[in-house]
Structure 1
Amino acid sequence: MATNIITTTPTLLTWENALRTFKKTLPSKDLKEIQMPTKPEELIFYLKGWKLYQQGKSVKAISAVQSGVARIQRFSACLDVLSQSLPDPATLLWGSIKFVLKIVQDYTEEYDKICEAFAAMVESLPRIEIYADTFPGSTLLHDSIHDIFVSSLHFWMKACKFYRRHRLFNLLRATWNDYDLEFSRLENAMKNAVDRVERAGIVEHIKEAKAFRAEQQLISGKAFELKQSEALGNMIRSLSPNTGDVDYYMRDYESAQKLRHPGICGWFLENDTFSRWSKTSLAAAQPNLLLWINGGPGMGKTVLSAAIIDHLQSLSVLKENPILIYFYFKGFSSDKNNSSAALLSFLYQILVQNKNNSMIDSKVSKVFNVANGASNPGFDSLWDHFCGVLEELLTVTLVLDRLDECSDSKKFVKKLRDLTKNGRTRIVITSRREKHFLKEFETCQSLEITPEHVQRDIKTFVECKITRSPRLSNPIVTGLIEEKLLRSNFGMFLWVRLVLKELKACMSVEQVQQTLAQLPAGLEAMYLAVVQRLEKTLTRSAVEVARKVLAWAIGSARSISFDELCTALSYQYKLEGQTLLYEDSTFPYSEKDIELMCGSLIIIRNGQVQSAHYTVKSYILEFGKRLKARSVSNITLVPDLHATSLDLAAVYVTYFAEKSSLLSAKCDILKLPS
């Protein structure tokens, strides 16, 4: 039976990426409003319908928009062509503009700014109606129109993010300080696009970019082949964690990869110990190829593991050793904090990379048979199956990150160490420098990460972050930021990242200077500073939401999804005789809103809510003791998990009592503190 494959275009990819960003930064009600079909000519009625349109710059701006309606309509039609009309990317652009206009309609200065930007965008639109009809197949023309869409959407997404966030926290009268910079970028981008369209009108270039589409079709085809077998599907399900997401290892790697900036980790990749380990040929069957990388909390070990994976994938040695598998342990998630989870993931990765190997299929299927399709076998059984599968491979390289967050690491370490004795397995492990690791890895190659090692990386990271922030790149504070962060970082990337987040949250250069003058020393002091800032800046209702979010995120046995969090909070407020939802029963906060209300303590990645770092969980679990030690009071944002356990349990029971048909669903979210 033929399978229809929708070709992915750059414009459609831009639309998809923008939609993902909007889902994180806007609640569903606002996103629905933006996605409501809006024709470009309708925006004129929104502009003229408001009382402020007769004031200031907006009069001229509205006239410019009105006279450019034909260009806007043609531009919108061209976007439909570029996205193959699935879906309508222009709707997202016009909806964003309408959304921003509605927010700022009662604030003259900001309204004038937005009208000016919209008018400038319309006036800059080239006469694409002529060229689009003359050269309908020109990729140069298509690329130019796509660039206009990207630049315009980028500007209006920034505007949505700023004005919506300030409306949320009742700070709308604050000025969009980055407006001039963003508007300048929009103007320059539009000018360049006009020039490109003019050139496309002269040079007829009809060659289609087939390479990208072919690659996407190949990937889609492989995915389809992998999933079409029912037997293979059963095996994959048997290798899945409780959440049912078998590909999470890839997203963990991608998340770590995104934290790595150009130039970071170079010192390690050039290190003699790592170089010898990575370049040793497994074909020579040399034993004991286990490298242990250790360091303190927050020193960038996870980012380093992503750099190692990237480096190994680029080495020619992988031609003889094509199997590279990896796993990121996470102590706050029951799906990722044990050796069995790692082994299941390893088996799945090997299965995917060798899907035409009948012997591997047969041996992996035994895992499913042992589990009877219902629950995972124990560690010993899994290990035996894993070793049996490895016998079918010539060589394999394993990368394990944060082994100290593995609940049964002592048993796992012994097995891993013995595994390298066969001379066909290469393993690299990152972890904290704990006593039992020192003993187990005594005879293995090791490399300790010291503050001196990471100073160069921290400097590169700080310079990159400063450059990307208009406020932090102000000459008044740039030098001071670099000096303070490089002098006081204790070799901890995490501390530097948290400080930079706090600085970016400042509303003025003066506030940046005040924050730098009172930098907390160490992670514990940094977490307390974040909590105290949130207590001062958030409304009481927002503090209460943040407290409940922390209770669910930290008190859960696994990371919970954003949808699960929304449901849990809604039921919790309902039990308290309150409501958290809008009148249309939609959740009032986006993923980004929740992150903002929880400061740097919570992150939401790929729809999963979790603590930003393993140290956050341990800090909150012992928060009461830490407050007494520091003589700090009046902190209500951080939950006492022991005191709130019954509240969370009540929500849990109430939900399943109402949804009795779902009692067979996974019931592993809540883990009550002992």
Structure 2
Amino acid sequence: MPLPPAINLDARRTIEKAFKDLERTVSVNDRIDLQDTTLDDVRKAAHLVEDELAARQSLRNMRRLEPLFTGLEYYSKTIEVLCNGTPYMPWIWAPIKLVLKISSDYVEAFEKIIKVYGQIAEPLARFQKLNRAFYSDKDVQQTLATFYSDILEFHKEAYQFVRRGSWRLLFRTSWGRFQRRFDGIIQDLKAHEKLVDKMALATNIAESKGWRKEMRQKMETWRQEQVDRMAKEETEEVTRQYLAITSYLKVDESVNAKIFDAIATEAVESVGTSSWILNQSEMQGWLKRLPSSTFILLHGRPGSGKSVLATQIVQFLRTSQQSLTMSHFCTYAYEESMDYDKLLKSFLLQLIRSDKDLIDYVYDILLRKSKIPSSKVVEALILDSVRASSLDPSRTRYIHIVIDGLDECDQATQSRATKLMKRMVSAAFSSGSTICKVLLSSRSSPAITKAAKQSQIVCLSNENKNLEKAIEAYALHRLSLLERELSQLQVTPGDISDLSCRIAKRAEGMFLWARLVLDYLANNMFLKREEILSAPEVLPRALQQLYEKILTQITSHFDERSLERIKLILEWIAFAKRPLRKAEFRSALAFSSGNPDTSELAPQYLFDRCSPLIEERSDSTFAFIHVSLSGKQ
């Protein structure tokens, strides 16, 4: 009995890798349909598609695929030894059945796919003339395995193309990119076809072993260079398109990043005080990759820490990398952050940023077709992008959206933005492949509540226990930084713990009030232990009264000129169109005297005198510590 042919284990591993890569891409339901599919099944499916097209008066000649089926039949015989005992063999033809069925609903796409599939036939025809002894050779097996890898890569590209969300919408703009990828695979198949020919001529020559190995290595190097070159060109083209879109929309993406970073910095300074929100029951349902809990309103009073909680949620989602996470933070400090058109454009860019096909689609609509980016146009692009956002046919795509401070916008913007979010949730659901989840963090607002009917509400006033624990931890951290000074007043660690607890209870969920009390303790001079310990009860409970007390304390020894200067600083922060950087602010204060010949900037210590009502952000701009100070609530 003759021994079975030896198997090249590297070749088997190449086939296994290609198979698993395609298997991961294909959805579970499609995987079940494809397994055990025979070549005859694919032939029958092609004829069935032909009959269906004829019934729709869109007859297409499916006989063009017969050379492909014949080539695959001959090729399958060459890799029998490599595929024995595995599920690998049917996957060289099974995906064709599915791709033809899906694409037949769109005749223009179907025609192009038929043509590229037909091109595979030519390199496969060579296998009709090879004898069994040839493809039992281990060196030849490695080249045969590369054919398998290329064919499955071809199927993967075709499958992903027709299985992604709204693929018909993206067909015209994306086909060129897919055509280049298909061409690259076919080029590789043809190169390996020539290598097989050369091996066939030299297979009986003992000295050819070294030559074949060298040729195969050169081929692999060339192949990788082709892949790298194509990837580089594609990346450069997409980057150019994205920058052109950003320029056309006139969006400064750094604004949203600055706002987020400023709030995130505040969260770092109070580390551990906002993590409780991730374990809150309604919020856990919203964070999970489940189709439930798609729309949540996070309500809280001014100063309750909503923005810090929102950044904590965004950072958690981004770290987990389980979904596309989008965010927008509205604040009076940056007027454009409250503009509806700017909000729209920000979300559009966040949606398409990591998706080459969506970038190409938006570039085509806005720049190739020169459409004016009106609210209506951008809204439509956002909804199209949501429907088409699913990249992986085997997994549901999740989009998490966080908007903070929407109540700082006018009521029309509140209503329009909320309604758009609802439409995005519906658009994702209708795609069948994407789930969109929205979190709006704001004060209770009739405009938002009305537009977000039947949404879940997480009210911070119902989370007093969590907030009290968080504020107590924050107060304990802040007071521990003053331990050296406090010990000189005979304030013990037990006193600090008790003081933290009393600050947290009296704050009643108001992080801002606790912060102001702690700033008061950090910035004032005390002679007696009781002055420290009585602060929570002595200081006004209402924010407005506390602001007045702090301002009175700051200005109590100011002369008239100093009062005018602090007033000027506060007015610049309140009414400037955008936050001023330190150098700009110092220049503005210097020239406020009305003397155009001023050569010196105002001193930096002026800003320190306004603490704790204002703060310098990480980007060197100044802002009030909270929107409630601006009078723009």
Q: If the length of structure 1 is used for normalisation, what is the TM-score? A: 0.51
| 1:299 is the counterpart of 2:304 | yes
Greater fraction of residues in helix? 2
Shift, 1:288, TM fit: 6.3
Three-state SS of the structure 2 residue aligned to 1:247 is helix
CA RMSD of aligned residues (A): 3.1
Shift, 1:439, TM fit: 2.9
Against the structure 1 CA distance between its residues 513 and 238, is the aligned structure 2 distance closer, same or farther, given a 3 Å change threshold? farther
Q: What residue is the counterpart of 2:601 in the other structure?
A: 587
Superposition map of 1:494-513 within 5 A: 494-510=512-528, 512=532
| 1:432 is the counterpart of 2:443 | yes
Against the structure 1 CA distance between its residues 517 and 471, is the aligned structure 2 distance closer, same or farther, given a 3 Å change threshold? farther
**Preserved CA contact (<8 Å) 2:351 2:382:** no
Against the structure 1 CA distance between its residues 501 and 231, is the aligned structure 2 distance closer, same or farther, given a 3 Å change threshold? same
Three-state SS of the structure 2 residue aligned to 1:618 is coil
Q: What residue is the counterpart of 1:280 in the other structure?
A: 289
Superposition map of 1:556-595 within 5 A: 556-573=576-593, 575=594, 577=595, 585-590=599-604, 593-595=605-607
One-letter identity of the residue aligned with 1:388: D
Shift, 1:370, TM fit: 8.7
Q: What residue is the counterpart of 1:554 in the other structure?
A: 574
One-letter identity of the residue aligned with 2:508: F
Unaligned runs of 5+ in 2: 1-231, 391-396, 430-434
Distance 1:403 1:370 in 2: 33
Shift, 1:572, TM fit: 1.7
Shift, 1:432, TM fit: 0.6
- Of 603, 610, 622 in structure 2, the residue corresponding to residue 598 of structure 1 is 610
One-letter identity of the residue aligned with 1:247: S
Q: What residue is the counterpart of 2:275 in the other structure?
A: 266
Three-state SS of the structure 1 residue aligned to 2:602 is coil
Shift, 1:276, TM fit: 1.4
Q: What residue is the counterpart of 1:72 in the other structure?
A: none
Against the structure 1 CA distance between its residues 230 and 541, is the aligned structure 2 distance closer, same or farther, given a 3 Å change threshold? farther
**Preserved CA contact (<8 Å) 1:288 1:417:** no
Shift, 1:277, TM fit: 1.6
CA deviation map 1:172-191 (0-9, x unaligned): xxxxxxxxxxxxxxxxxxxx
Shift, 1:397, TM fit: 1.6
Distance 1:520 1:612 in 2: 18
Q: What residue is the counterpart of 1:348 in the other structure?
A: 349
Q: What residue is the counterpart of 2:336 in the other structure?
A: 335
Q: What residue is the counterpart of 1:233 in the other structure?
A: 243
Distance 1:336 1:392 in 2: 27
Larger Rg: 2
**Preserved CA contact (<8 Å) 1:331 1:337:** yes
Q: What residue is the counterpart of 1:170 in the other structure?
A: none
Distance 1:471 1:541 in 2: 37
Against the structure 1 CA distance between its residues 571 and 381, is the aligned structure 2 distance closer, same or farther, given a 3 Å change threshold? farther
**Preserved CA contact (<8 Å) 2:468 2:508:** no
- Of 516, 522, 534 in structure 1, the residue corresponding to residue 554 of structure 2 is 534
Superposition map of 1:377-416 within 5 A: 377-394=373-390, 395=397, 396-407=399-410, 408-416=413-421
Shift, 1:550, TM fit: 1.1
| 1:465 is the counterpart of 2:478 | yes
Q: What residue is the counterpart of 1:20 in the other structure?
A: none
Three-state SS of the structure 1 residue aligned to 2:539 is coil
Shift, 1:483, TM fit: 4.6
**Preserved CA contact (<8 Å) 2:274 2:312:** yes
One-letter identity of the residue aligned with 2:468: Q
Unaligned runs of 5+ in 1: 1-221, 622-674
Q: What residue is the counterpart of 1:359 in the other structure?
A: 358
CA deviation map 1:395-416 (0-9, x unaligned): 3221111111122111211121
Distance 2:584 2:264 in 1: 27
Three-state SS of the structure 2 residue aligned to 1:259 is helix
Three-state SS of the structure 2 residue aligned to 1:264 is coil
Three-state SS of the structure 2 residue aligned to 1:414 is helix
Three-state SS of the structure 1 residue aligned to 2:467 is helix
Q: What residue is the counterpart of 1:615 in the other structure?
A: 628
Against the structure 1 CA distance between its residues 457 and 344, is the aligned structure 2 distance closer, same or farther, given a 3 Å change threshold? same
Distance 2:258 2:474 in 1: 22
Distance 1:561 1:523 in 2: 27
**Preserved CA contact (<8 Å) 1:249 1:327:** yes
Three-state SS of the structure 1 residue aligned to 2:402 is strand
**Preserved CA contact (<8 Å) 1:399 1:429:** yes
Shift, 1:341, TM fit: 2.0
One-letter identity of the residue aligned with 1:600: P
Shift, 1:500, TM fit: 1.1
Distance 2:271 2:560 in 1: 41
Distance 1:525 1:365 in 2: 56
**Preserved CA contact (<8 Å) 2:273 2:474:** yes
Q: What residue is the counterpart of 2:565 in the other structure?
A: 545
How many residue pairs get aligned? The number is 373
Shift, 1:463, TM fit: 0.6
Distance 2:317 2:559 in 1: 49
Distance 2:353 2:475 in 1: 39
Shift, 1:523, TM fit: 1.0
**Preserved CA contact (<8 Å) 1:239 1:347:** no
Distance 1:359 1:604 in 2: 38
Identity of aligned residues (%): 18
Distance 2:262 2:458 in 1: 24
One-letter identity of the residue aligned with 2:603: Y
One-letter identity of the residue aligned with 2:271: P
Q: What residue is the counterpart of 1:92 in the other structure?
A: none
Against the structure 1 CA distance between its residues 368 and 610, is the aligned structure 2 distance closer, same or farther, given a 3 Å change threshold? farther
Q: What residue is the counterpart of 2:505 in the other structure?
A: 487
Three-state SS of the structure 1 residue aligned to 2:253 is coil
Q: What residue is the counterpart of 2:313 in the other structure?
A: 308
Shift, 1:485, TM fit: 1.3
Shift, 1:233, TM fit: 3.2
Three-state SS of the structure 2 residue aligned to 1:588 is coil
Against the structure 1 CA distance between its residues 232 and 438, is the aligned structure 2 distance closer, same or farther, given a 3 Å change threshold? closer
Shift, 1:588, TM fit: 3.5
Distance 2:358 2:601 in 1: 49
Q: If the length of structure 2 is used for normalisation, what is the TM-score? A: 0.54
| 1:289 is the counterpart of 2:294 | yes
**Preserved CA contact (<8 Å) 2:304 2:511:** yes
Distance 2:566 2:369 in 1: 43
